[in-house]
Amino acid sequence: MRFADKTALVTGSTRGIGAATARLLAEEGAHVIVHGRALAAAETVAQRIGEQGGKASACAFDLGSSDAVRTGLAAILERHPTLDIVVNNAAVVSDGALIMMSDRDWDEVININLSGCFRVCRAVSRAMLSRRSGTIINVGSIGGMRSSPGQSNYSASKAGLVGFSRTMARELAPRGVRVNCVIPGVIDSGMTLRTNRRRVDEVVAHVPCKRRGTAMEVAQAVAFLASDAASYIYGAELVVDGGLCL
């Protein structure tokens, strides 16, 4: 029970890596706040966690809106002033060749994946700094570390997330707040299932261990960085990709 008496917020946790992370943190004692775009979907995951003996509640707000994030986080912090763990997992894709990509496709992905994470971190870090404790894990992607044709917007958002996480880790470390990044590879859930299967199979062919990862394998990495076992780890990128980036 690594997270007994702790509270964790996991954005984008209605499915895939986010849902697996929410379940795992709850299994290990945390009260998990499940976040999604639609409240009904978040409530479904929270209910399942409760049925399995965990503690969870649900929330929904738009990460693309500064006002919505500010209001949503204020409500969460009012109920849970000691928010201990924040996992920024929410992300969207809008794939297309660079020369065909619209401003709207570019802006939406950057706004949710990168600016949305910034908005959440800005809000929660103030509370964490005042308590001189807390940990933030941002979920990146190998798409931000290697070429990903057809995903220039997504790659840019995830590469930016790594640089943002490093700088934030340096800023917050002196006040006891840890920030780290998990970098998933090709995972057999969530966005991968909505991506062109042929493209996915081509990438998996280059994975040394010759398989896709699972959402729970990524969740385990997130849980490690959130735990006291990672108390001296700041600004790291923990790559969970089966060796793809070697």
Residue 96 DSSP code: -
Indicate if 154 belongs to the active site.
Answer: yes
Q: What pLDDT, on the 0 to 100 scale, is given for residue 204?
A: 85
Alpha-carbon span 239 to 242, nearest angstrom: 9
pTM: 0.94
- Phi, psi dihedral angles at 37 (to 5 degrees): -70, -35
Q: What pLDDT, on the 0 to 100 scale, is given for residue 194?
A: 58
- Most distant CA atoms of the chain, gap in Å: 50
Question: Does residue 191 fall inside a structural domain?
Answer: yes
Alpha-carbon span 234 to 162, nearest angstrom: 13
Angle, vertex CA 30, rays to CA 26 and CA 32, nearest 5 = 70
Q: What pLDDT, on the 0 to 100 scale, is given for residue 191?
A: 64
Question: Does residue 2 fall inside a structural domain?
Answer: no
Question: Does residue 106 fall inside a structural domain?
Answer: yes
- What burial class does residue 202 get, using C-beta atoms within 10 Å of its C-beta: 0-12 exposed, 13-18 middle, 19+ buried? exposed
Question: Does residue 244 fall inside a structural domain?
Answer: no
Q: What pLDDT, on the 0 to 100 scale, is given for residue 32?
A: 98
Contacts of 206 (CB under 8 A, 6+ apart): 244
Question: Does residue 181 fall inside a structural domain?
Answer: yes
Alpha-carbon span 150 to 117, nearest angstrom: 23
Q: What pLDDT, on the 0 to 100 scale, is given for residue 212?
A: 92
Question: Does residue 1 fall inside a structural domain?
Answer: no
Alpha-carbon span 5 to 1, nearest angstrom: 9
What sign has the CA pseudo-torsion 158, 161, 163, 166?
Answer: negative
Number of domains in the chain: 1
Question: Does residue 150 fall inside a structural domain?
Answer: yes
Q: Coil, helix or strand for 216?
A: helix
Q: What pLDDT, on the 0 to 100 scale, is given for residue 200?
A: 77
Question: Does residue 246 fall inside a structural domain?
Answer: no
Structure tokens at 68: 């919505």
User: Which CATH number goes with the domain that contains 68?
Assistant: 3.40.50.720
Provide the residue range defining the domain that includes 129.
7-238
Q: What pLDDT, on the 0 to 100 scale, is given for residue 199?
A: 74
Alpha-carbon span 129 to 206, nearest angstrom: 42
**10-residue block means of pLDDT along the chain (246 residues)?**
97 97 98 97 98 98 97 96 96 94 97 98 96 97 90 96 98 98 90 65 86 96 98 98 92
Query: Choosing from 18, 154, 169, 180, which is the catalytic residue?
Result: 154
Q: What pLDDT, on the 0 to 100 scale, is given for residue 95?
A: 92
Angle, vertex CA 82, rays to CA 76 and CA 87, nearest 5 = 65
